[in-house]
Structure formats: C-alpha cells, structure tokens
Structure 1
Amino acid sequence: MYKVMLVDDDYPVLEFLSEAIHWNDFDLELQGCYENGAVALEHAEQEMPDILITDIGMPKMNGLDLISMLRERKPNLRVAILSCHDEFYYAQQAVKLNVQDYVLKDTLDPEDLEKLLLQFKASLDQEERVQTHQHQLQHMVDRNKELLKEKFIRRTLQQPILDPKDWLEEARSFDLSLEGMACLPILGIIDGYRSAKQRFMSDDILRFAVDNVIGEVSAREPLRAVHFAYGSKESFFLFPFHSTLKMNPFDEVAARMKQIQNALRKFLKISMSFIIGEVCHHPEDIKAALISLRASSVQRFYMEESSIAKKRPLPQGNMDLFSWYDQASTELKEMILEKNTGIIVPTVKHWMEFLKEHAFEPEKVKDWVLKLLLDLKLKLQSLQYFRSTYEVDILHKEILEIDSLFELENWLVEHFQSVIALAGEIGEQGKRSEVVQACHYVSLHLDKRISLEEVADHLFLNSSYFSRLFKKETGETFIEYVTRMKMNRAKELLDQTNHPVGKICEMLGYDNQSYFIKIFKNLAGVTPMEYRGQKTS
C-alpha cells in the first residue's frame, strides 16, 4: 500500500480532499495532511511518502522547495502540484522538478485527481516489478559467483595446482589479487550450526544470509579478506597484504574477523569462530595451509564460542578416556535417579573440563558420550519404573552432528534435564510409590548389603506386607530384584574396568567371593572370569 501526503495551507481544501477520495479503494494510505512545507518535511523525514500532492504558496516553506528537498531523499517520488497559480513561471519550475501533473484548484474535480492517483499507482507498481526483476537477476549473478568461488576453493584443496599463474589469474577474477603479495588464510566455522540451521529452516537460506552479511562487511575495507564459502558450515578467507608494510597481519586479520563476528551476531544472531593459518607466499603454500586448517579438528572442537585464534596443535596425553567410563556412568546414573536437576550443570561442566584438559580426539569423545547415554538408557529401562525416554537413532544422529565441546555441554544439559523430567513423570505412573522408592533405594546402595527388612524400615512398612506388595507389582521377589541389579552392576564393572573379581565382589557388598561367583554363574551362565574373557576374545 502506497503512502500519500497532502500539503496545503488552505485547510478546507485538505479536509475536502481527505474525505472526497476513498483512499483504501485505490490501495492507498493517506499518511497525513499538513498546512505548510516545513511541517510536511519534518514528518517525511520520519516516514517518507510515495506520492506527494502539494500547494505552492505556503508559509515557512513553499511547495517547490518541499518537492526539491523530498526528491533529494527519494528520487522516484510521484508529485502533483495543486495550486491557484496558472502562471508560466510556476509551471516552468514544476517541469524542472519533474512534477508529474499540475492541477488548478479552481477547476479541481475529485474524479480527475482519482485518475491521477491511479496513474501514479500503476507507474509505481511497474517500477516495483522492474526493481524486483533486477534484484532477482542480481541475486542470480551473485549466487553464481559464490558457487564459482566455492568450486575454485574446493579444487584448490582437492586437486593439484598444475599452473600457479593460471591459479593466480582465476583468483583475480574473484577480486583476490596476490601478485607480489603475501597471504594469510583463515578458516571460519559457524558455532552451534545445528541450532542455526533449525532457525533458518534450511542450509541454503542460512548460507545466503551469512554470505550477504560477510559481503557487506568485507566491501567496506580497501584491502579486504576475500570470502569463499565451503559448504554451509565453514568458510575460508584469504587476506592479501604487503609483507613490506609495518603491520602485524595477525592483528589486522583478527580485527577484521571481529567486525564480521559483530555483524553476524547483530543481524543474524549467529556466532562464528576463526582459526588463522600461517603466512603464505605461493599458491602451493595457500593450498597446504587450507588443508591444514581443515584438519585442525581437535583445536576446533575445544575452542570457545566466538573465538579468534592462531592455528596451533593441542598437546594430547596418553590417558585412556574409557578408563574413566565407570566413574562417569555412576555419577550420571545417580544424578538421574536422585532427580536432582540442581547438579546437572556442575556435573556436566566437570566432565567437559576433564575432556578439554586432556584434549581427547573429538570422535573418541563422541563415541564415549554416546556409549554412556546408551548404557544409561538400558540401566533406566532395567529399573522397572522407567520406560525408554529417547530413541537410539536420534541420539546417535544428534551427537554426531555436534561440532564443539561447548555445544556438547549445552546439549547434554538439555538432554539430562529432559530425561529427569520424563523420568519423574514416568516413575509416578503404573506402580505404587513404595515400590518406586524401593527400586530407587536399591540402585543407590548396590555397594552395600541390602536386606528386605532394611528397605521396609526405610519405607515405614511392615516387612511381610512390603514383600507381598513388591512381588505383586514387579513379578519377582525383592531379593531376586536386588540380586539381579547387583549382577548387572557386576557385568558393567567387568566390561568397563580392570578390577579383579575379588575387588568387584567387595564393591557389591559381598563378603564371600565363592558365593558371589556362584550367584553370577546362576544368572549369567558363566563365571565372572569367563564373562570377561568372552568380551575380550
């Protein structure tokens, strides 16, 4: 809907026109009626009209001056002069200002003005269609150029550079002039890519938005870092500079990347981190540096959100991550069973700091976390008052898509909050609360001897009544349930630790190792040592 502004110091004329013409019928909005050019200009600076109908002779600012000043701000403004003057001078001035029509008040007919408004609207519609088409064509040109740039950078990484001169010539076609220049390569990574993609609905929309913002920021610099998209998640930047200049290229690049970070955060609510490579002087150097940046998976995984860092190797120890598996599994299981949401953040943060301290390989970390969560799923299901709360394939897919430790930390916090909330709801459904509490008590005291009388006292129940109630609700006796839970825990310790059988026996509250082995064999079909041998063979 186009906006119309009426300006005339003759108030009856303003009132007559505002009421005589049915603006909405013409898909027009009467933006305002003003009694002189100065007031109209003040309001136009807040909201510019598409069509101006104005008198000429007015106090403070006449109509010709108003037209001139508004045209400076909006060259395609449609203008009609409404005046008592039919002298040649005024008509001549109107022509100079490219006024579309000159209407005399004495002979004014609202129908004539309506016809003029329809002409204005038709010309504005046509102009808008032309501009839209031009924008579409420009978008296609820009899009094709970005695709060609991506193909160029992919060839650089994946294929040998047969002729450095040809490579430099092609680089120049993308506004990257490197003759006689040094070059600093940079890798940009979208932080929290999964959530960013969900917000923008698709990879293409996200990439288009990021490319536009980066292009706008880069265009402001005389010596700029040329941007090459590498898929939707990553970008390369090549920053040419004169090595003879007294400047620190790393500081200069960091400042440029900071500008891009700020713009992405401001306009798209997206965070991007950057790794800066080594100074290059030849195309082959650039190729090697880009390959090295893409291979810096460990540094990328452990970077904080919105980081800007030089490429560096992270020292990795010889510690076996899975030797800490049992401790992590126990802590997380107890956290869930206690339904203590207050310790989720510190517990997760503690383990994330541990992972970062030792800089384990990202893929090994994901495998470790996935196994922890899948084992927790089975443990929760083995406690009869829990049902499955998440699908294995979804769990696997989501963890594999996580790109950084900080993203993994946020994901785990949300995951455990969801699990505990669902566990609380499920735990109170289907079974008597006394049985739920008994199962909970057992899971937290597997390292001790647990008797039926002890748990009945804990629940303030008669032991005979509790025994019958438990069998009725679960289908097994309380002692059978305790034994089954202890043997399940024994299997975990045999799988996940190197503890001898005697130590595991003590850890589960058994005084007699022979008795423990006998019970284990009755339930598992093999002795503890045979069970461990099956897993390693």
Structure 2
Amino acid sequence: MYKVMLVDDDYPVLEFLSETIPWNEYGLELQGCYENGAIALEQAEKAMPDILITDIGMPRMNGLELIAKLKEQKASLRVAILSCHNEFHYAQQAVKLNVQDYVLKDTLDPKDLEKLLQQFKASLDQDERVQTHQHQLQHIVDRNKELLKEKFIRRTLQQPIMDAGDWLAEAKSFQLSLEGMECLPILGLIDEYRTAKQRFVSDDILRFAVDNIIGEVSSRDGSPAVHFAYGTKESFFLFPYLPSLKINPYDAAVERMKQIQAALNKYLKISMSFIIGERCRNPEEIKGTLNGLLASGLQRFYMDEGSIVKKQSLKHGDIDLFSWYDQASTELRELMLEKQTGPIVSTVRHWMAFLKEHSFEPEKVKDWVLKLLLDLKLKLQSLQYFRSTYAVDVLHKEILEIDSLFELEHWLVEHLQSVIALAGEIGERGKRTEVVEACHYVSLHLDKRISLEEVADHLFLNSSYFSRLFKKETGETFIEYVTRMKMNRAKELLDQTNHPVGKICEMLGYDNQSYFIKIFKASVGVTPLEYRGQKTSL
C-alpha cells in the first residue's frame, strides 16, 4: 500500500477527510494526520509518505516549505495542496514545486479528492512498473558484464596470452587499469558452499547475491580490487598497486578482503576465505599465479573458516593414513553402540586434528572417511536391531562436495549424531529389549570370551529362558551370533592391520590358535592367511 500523510492546522478538516475517504479500498494507508509542517517533517524522516495532502498557511512551518523539504528527499512524492488561499502567487509557487493539484477548501468535495487519490495511485503504479523494468534491464546488463568478466578470466587461465597489450586493454574495459602498476591476484572461496547453496536454493541466486554484495563494497569505498567470478564457489580479485608506494600491498589487500568478509557475513550470513598470491608485473605472471592459486588444493583443504592467508606450498603427509583406520573405526563403533552423541564431537575433532597435523591428501582423507562410514553402516546392520537409513551414493556425493577439513568436521559430527538418534529409535521399536542389550554387550566385549550364562546373568535372566528368547528373536543361537560377530571382526583386523594371526586370535579372546583357525575356516571358507592373501592380490 502507498502511504498518505494529511497536514492541516484545521482539525475538523483532518478528522473529516480521515473518516470520510475509504483509504484501504483505494490501496492506500493513512500514515498520519498532523497539525503543522514541522511535526509532519519529523514523522516523514522516520517513514517517508508516497502522497502528501497539505494546507499552506500553518504555524512553525507552512505547507510550501514542507513540500520543498520532502521533495528534496523524495522527488517522486505526489502532492495536493488543500487550502483556502486562491491567490495567484500561491499557485505559482505550487507549480514550481511540481504540485500535482491545488484544491480549495471552499469548494472541496470528497469525491473529487478520491478521484485525485486514484490518479495518484495509478501514476505511482506506473512508476513502479517502470522502475521494475529498469531494474530488470540493469540486472541483465550487470549479469552480462559479469559473464564477460568470467569469460575473460577463464581465457586468461586456459589460453595463451598472444598480445599483452590487447590483454591490458580488455582488462581496462573491466575497470582493471594496470599501466605502471603491479598486481596481487587473490582467490576467494565460499566456506561451507554446500550449506550456502541450500539456503539460497540455486547456484544462480547465490552467485547473484555474492556478486551484488562484493560490487556494493567495491563501489562504496572506491576499491582498486576488481572482482572476477569463477563459477559460484570461487572468485578472483586482482588488486593493483603502485610499486613505488611505501605501504605494504599485502596489508592493504588484507584490509580490503576483511571488508568484503564483513559485508558478506552481515547481509548474507556467508563466510569467505582468501588466498593471496605473489606480486605480478605483467599478464603472464598474473596468469601463472592465478593457475597456481587454483591448484592449491592442499592448502585450501586445511584452511580454517574465514582465513586470509598467503599462498604456501604444502607437502602432504608421508605416513600411511589407513594404518590408523582400525583405531578410528573401533572408537566410532563403540560410540555408536553406546549411543553417545556427546563424545562424538571430541572424537571427531581429535581425528580431524590428526589429519591436519599430517596434511594428508584431501582425496585420500575423503576416501578414508567414506570407508569408515560404509564399514560402520555394515556393522550397524549386522547388529540386526539397527537399520541404516543412509544410501551409499548419497554419502559419496556429499563427501566429494566438501571442500575443507573444518567443513568435513561439521558434516561428520552432524551425520554421526543423526545416525545414533535414528538407530536408537529403530532399536527401541524392534526386538525385545533383552536381545538388544545382549547384542550390545557382545559388540563391546569381542576381545573376551563370552558365554551365554555370563550374558544371561548380566541381564538378570535365566540362561535357558534367554537362550530360547534369543533364538526366537534373531533366528540363530546366541553362540552362533557371538561366533559370527567375532569372525566379522577377525576379517576387519586381517583387512585393516598387519597383525599376525596369533595376535588377532588373542585380540578376539581365543586361547587356542588352532581352534580359532578352524572356526574361521568353517565360517569364511578359507584360513586367515588365505583370506589375507586373497585381499592382498586384489
């Protein structure tokens, strides 16, 4: 609705008009009635009206002064003068102030004023349509300009620079003037891009929002840094500076990036990190540095959220990440079985710190985490009272899209906590509580000898009754279940560690290695050494 302000020192006139005219029917809102121009001006500074109907002769500030001051703030303001003055010089002043109508109180008919208000609304609607169309056209122009800038930076990265002069001229068309200047290339990265994209529904909307905020910051402060979008999650900034200046260009660039960070966080709740490249003196050096920034995957993966850092050459860890797999898998399995959501955070944080300390290759880290989750999925399913609710392809896709270790940490914590919550609900709705507790007990004591009597005592049940109950609920005897769980664990240890068979035998609570080998072969079809040999040859 358009807001209307009535101003007149004649209170009966204000009361008559406010109550006689059906404002809402015309799509209008009566913002207020004021007895002089000074009070009206104070209120207008809080909320500017779209339509002003005012008297001329009033104390403190007359109507003509009020119109002049409001027109300075809002040139599109529609104004009608409502006055008992019919002198020619008043009409002349009204024309100069671009007043749309001049109505005499002596001949006032509310119907005439209603027609005038309808005309005002129609003209305001038309202005709004024109402005919307202009904004759409401007958006198309801006969007095309951003696409041209992106094509320019992609050509720079992917094709030879045949003529440095032509390159500099094209850069200048994008407000990047490098004559007599050096340049710092900077790579900007949207932190937790997956989450940001979900909030903004699509890549296009997210990109438009980010480009718009960066553009506003640059235009407001006259930034020398020119922004080039590179897809949605990545951006380049080329920061020109005079090499003779005594100021440190890195410090100036950091301050500019902090301003962009603050604006993105304030208006979009988005965090962006930056990697600053080396100083460049010509287009070829700029090209080389930009490509180097794009290739800095290891540094990018281990950066903290909201970082602004210089490019570094990091070396990935030289120890075998998968030699630590069994320890991580065991810790997570125990937390899942005990349904402890609290310690999940500290456990995941511990392993993330370990990964960062050794700077393992990002792809290897993702493979490691994916294997942990897939093995955990199988373990939960093998306990029968758990039912996994997440698909392998979904896990794989989500992990591949993660760009940094801190994002992986947040994602992994949320994922494991949700699995524990769902598993607990499903377990409670599934088998008898006694059977659930028995399976739980077995999983936590695979390193010991486990007897039916021991577990029955733990559950305060008669051993014969417990044996029949377990068989009825699971379809296998308790001893068969224990053996199956131990053999599954034996295969994990054979797959994931270099422990000798004798050591694995001890780790599973068997005193006799020959007996263990016999049980393993009966369950798996081959001996432990043959099983390990088959896996090694694959």
Common topology (TM > 0.5): yes
Shift of 1:315: 3.5
Shift of 1:223: 4.7
1:363 aligns with 2:375: no
Counterpart for residue 212 of structure 1: 212
Counterpart for residue 376 of structure 1: 376
The one-letter code sitting in structure 2 at the alignment partner of 1:503 is: K
Counterpart for residue 448 of structure 2: 448
The one-letter code sitting in structure 2 at the alignment partner of 1:321 is: L
Q: Per the alignment, in what secondary structure is the counterpart of residue 305 of structure 1?
A: coil
Q: Per the alignment, in what secondary structure is the counterpart of residue 6 of structure 1?
A: strand
C-alpha distance in 1 between matches for 2:450 and 2:24:
82
Shift of 1:260: 0.2
Q: Please show how residues 483-502 of structure 1 align to structure 2 within 5 Å.
A: 483-502=483-502
Counterpart for residue 183 of structure 2: 183
Confirm or deny: 8 A CA contact 2:317 2:361 kept in the other structure: no
Counterpart for residue 300 of structure 1: 300
C-alpha distance in 1 between matches for 2:477 and 2:117:
89
Structure 2 length as normaliser, TM-score? 0.99
- Could you tell which deviates more after superposition, 368-377 or 19-28? 19-28
Counterpart for residue 423 of structure 2: 423
CA offset digits 1:63-102 (Å, max 9, x no partner) = 0110011011101111111111111121111111111111
CA offset digits 1:129-182 (Å, max 9, x no partner) = 111111111111000000000011111111111111111111111110111110
The one-letter code sitting in structure 1 at the alignment partner of 2:439 is: C
- Could you tell which deviates more after superposition, 522-531 or 25-34? 25-34
Shift of 1:391: 1.1
Q: Please show how residues 3-402 of structure 1 align to structure 2 within 5 Å.
A: 3-402=3-402
The one-letter code sitting in structure 1 at the alignment partner of 2:53 is: I
C-alpha distance in 2 between matches for 1:347 and 1:318:
23
Confirm or deny: 8 A CA contact 2:471 2:477 kept in the other structure: yes
Confirm or deny: 8 A CA contact 1:178 1:240 kept in the other structure: yes
Confirm or deny: 8 A CA contact 2:495 2:532 kept in the other structure: yes
The one-letter code sitting in structure 2 at the alignment partner of 1:518 is: K
The one-letter code sitting in structure 2 at the alignment partner of 1:218 is: S
The one-letter code sitting in structure 1 at the alignment partner of 2:95 is: V
C-alpha distance in 2 between matches for 1:212 and 1:15:
46
Structure 1 length as normaliser, TM-score? 0.99
Confirm or deny: 8 A CA contact 1:223 1:240 kept in the other structure: no
CA offset digits 1:97-135 (Å, max 9, x no partner) = 111111111111112111211221121111111111111
Q: Per the alignment, in what secondary structure is the counterpart of residue 232 of structure 2?
A: coil
The one-letter code sitting in structure 2 at the alignment partner of 1:78 is: R
Q: Per the alignment, in what secondary structure is the counterpart of residue 82 of structure 1?
A: strand
Counterpart for residue 530 of structure 1: 530
C-alpha distance in 2 between matches for 1:270 and 1:442:
46
C-alpha distance in 1 between matches for 2:27 and 2:409:
53
Q: Per the alignment, in what secondary structure is the counterpart of residue 486 of structure 2?
A: helix
Q: Per the alignment, in what secondary structure is the counterpart of residue 220 of structure 2?
A: coil
C-alpha distance in 1 between matches for 2:351 and 2:504:
25
Shift of 1:220: 2.5
CA offset digits 1:341-380 (Å, max 9, x no partner) = 1211101100010001001111110000000000000011
Report how many aligned residue pairs link the two structures: 537
CA offset digits 1:224-273 (Å, max 9, x no partner) = 11000011100000000001111101110000000000000000000000
Q: Per the alignment, in what secondary structure is the counterpart of residue 428 of structure 1?
A: helix
Confirm or deny: 8 A CA contact 1:188 1:236 kept in the other structure: yes
Confirm or deny: 8 A CA contact 1:505 1:516 kept in the other structure: yes
The one-letter code sitting in structure 2 at the alignment partner of 1:435 is: V
Q: Please show how residues 463-478 of structure 1 align to structure 2 within 5 Å.
A: 463-478=463-478
C-alpha distance in 1 between matches for 2:361 and 2:309:
19
- Could you tell which deviates more after superposition, 252-261 or 161-170? 161-170
Q: Per the alignment, in what secondary structure is the counterpart of residue 254 of structure 1?
A: helix
Confirm or deny: 8 A CA contact 1:223 1:241 kept in the other structure: no
C-alpha distance in 1 between matches for 2:345 and 2:422:
18
Q: Per the alignment, in what secondary structure is the counterpart of residue 188 of structure 1?
A: strand
C-alpha distance in 1 between matches for 2:452 and 2:76:
89
CA offset digits 1:473-502 (Å, max 9, x no partner) = 111111111111111000000000111111
C-alpha distance in 2 between matches for 1:87 and 1:428:
89
Q: Per the alignment, in what secondary structure is the counterpart of residue 98 of structure 1?
A: coil
Runs of 4+ aligned structure 1 residues displaced above 6 Å come to none
Give the % identical residues: 82
C-alpha distance in 1 between matches for 2:283 and 2:223:
19
Confirm or deny: 8 A CA contact 1:456 1:463 kept in the other structure: yes
- Could you tell which deviates more after superposition, 7-16 or 218-227? 218-227
C-alpha distance in 1 between matches for 2:19 and 2:471:
86
C-alpha distance in 1 between matches for 2:386 and 2:115:
75
C-alpha distance in 2 between matches for 1:54 and 1:475:
89
C-alpha distance in 2 between matches for 1:34 and 1:222:
42
- Could you tell which deviates more after superposition, 461-470 or 363-372? 461-470
C-alpha distance in 2 between matches for 1:143 and 1:233:
17
The one-letter code sitting in structure 2 at the alignment partner of 1:519 is: I
C-alpha distance in 2 between matches for 1:466 and 1:134:
78
C-alpha distance in 2 between matches for 1:405 and 1:459:
43
C-alpha distance in 1 between matches for 2:20 and 2:470:
86
C-alpha distance in 2 between matches for 1:59 and 1:210:
50
Counterpart for residue 459 of structure 1: 459
Gaps of 5+ in 1: none
Shift of 1:398: 0.8
| RMSD after superposition | 0.9
The one-letter code sitting in structure 2 at the alignment partner of 1:166 is: D
Gaps of 5+ in 2: none
C-alpha distance in 1 between matches for 2:426 and 2:76:
66
The one-letter code sitting in structure 2 at the alignment partner of 1:342 is: G
Structure 1 residues 272 and 88, CA gap change in structure 2 (3 angstroms): same
C-alpha distance in 1 between matches for 2:138 and 2:340:
56
Confirm or deny: 8 A CA contact 1:276 1:309 kept in the other structure: yes
